[in-house]
Structure 1
Amino acid sequence: MRAERLLRLLLHLQTRGRSTVADLAAVLDVSHRTVQRDLDALSLAGVPVYSTRGRGGGWSLLPDYRSRLTGLTPSEVMSVFVGATAHVLADLGLDVSADQAVLKLIATLPDASRRDAEYARQRLLIDHAGWDDRGSVTSFRPRWLDLCRQAVWEERTLEITYAEGTTPFPIAPLGLVAKTRTWYLVAARPAGHVRTYRLSRLTAATLLSATFTRPPDFDLATYWHQSQQALKASRPSYLIVLRVHEDSLRRFRPTTPPIPAGNGWWIIHADLENPTEATATVLAQAGTAIALSPPALVTAVREAAQSLTTLHNPG
């Protein structure tokens, strides 16, 4: 997004000093023309950027200048702080550093913008990981997204109908989560229990005039992480071992690093939900995945393959 790129550009100039357009383009992974437009945008927003011509020249900020990010609009400020790819940062051991960096960036904001950033951070979360890490989810923009966003922002009660044939009930919307472009609403029921609702399953939603008091100790990111962990723990598990050719290796999500088996083949351990799914998964690879364990899976694949051969035998 452009707001995030402008922020990265500004912080780069603050920390690295004079940089050429080519340097900035490489850092931001954009074209030279895009960098030039972004520099012009910073200048128009009141950021004192200037260029120096000749050998050793480039773009710089005025000496001793430190941005308070006043060049960003409230909506741009919110967009920068709404979502971080938490699982990637955690994999790299940078999740704690990222949290500290966000807090430091928020601290540099003017009071009004700081409130906007913190407000957004507590009400919107972007989670880029798939539910089972085996592929992305195809989705569409939910019908009720704008209404839910208004309810979250204004802390107003919603009355929703969740799935066909159910009775409408009130909820206190606490936050929205986008997971691989599928939207979820996190909300508290009247009894205080916090639940997650998939927006595509809402069949009706009405914004009520009644407001609610947001729990002061509720943190959206913490709730979402804990709910995902609980979901994964409750999910059925069927551990299998396969010999997979490199052509099909990307179709699997091994639970441990693949082991080379020679001639382009790899031994992998995977976790599927049940024997039926495992059998179908192996057969779908058309000979580039071979079941090794458990023995019941090997038998199931062999019997299914024989059945398919019989069914497709023209004789």
Structure 2
Amino acid sequence: MPLLEPLDSAARLFQEVLLAAVLGDAVGLPVAMTGAPGAPGIVVDGLYAYGSIAEMMLLLAESVAENCGFNPRGYAEALASRADVENPLRLYHPATAAAINGIRRGKPWWEARRQPLQDGPRMDAAARAVPIALFYRSRRVAASMAEAQTLVTHTSSHDVEAARLYVIALYETLRGLSPRRLAGVLADEAGDPVLRELMARLEDLAGEPLGRAARLLAPVPGGDPHPFAAALYAYMESPGNPLEAARTAAAVAPGSADAAAAMAAALAAAHGGLEAVDPGLLGRLEAGSWALEAGRRLYQAARSRHGESPAS
């Protein structure tokens, strides 16, 4: 994979945030598969494998670029034609895979998404929404499109709300909101009572050890930490280092480590770029070149639509 090219700062930002999400996915994927925090990356032909989060995110980026905005039919077709749901390394959630396979069999996406396998928050649709925050200049429109892209494969109102809040988090971070203020902004925005409570707890977790944070970020006592809350905690702890943010998020929420780590890494890159990450590691990401090309195309489409740097 080539190193990041010397593009203007806004174009580079698109590439860095997508690449960071791919990095987080690669960090979290083996943890999600094994449940073991710190599990080593999965190496395929010398490169760190990517999972469903990276795949769906990059297909979304390409679809948004091709349509110069989010188009649910276009995205559904992209998933149906290119998502590698049969590959166990991709680690697709069964309900998401079933929805995509339903589209392949000819069902409309709004019917194919209705699956009996939705056992709690999935967060894969939230984590894949990164291109929406990069492309749209209006927070209101970005939040609305975050919900719309979720509904291509999901029906849970909790997943829809998590995607909306994550895109708002990315949108505000791209525009300079400090990590310590983010939880308060999201608590005010949250309509889902579980997410509102978790966002409120985050404000008091700065500097708390990982174990206590994991307990407090579980929606119910003794339950699993919420992946989105884990991502925000990890980002707040390591805002300048996407790799460390990804590792922390994966450790806090090992059951959904791929989604949590991808979200945390993307937030950290939106805040401070990728300077803290070894370029050699970035060069070993299986989906790295794909992320750079998707970021370039997404940026060009955003410039075409908005006529100026979209994230400025």
TM-score, length-scaled by structure 1 = 0.28
More strand by share: 1
More helix by share: 2
Larger radius of gyration: 1
TM-score, length-scaled by structure 2 = 0.28
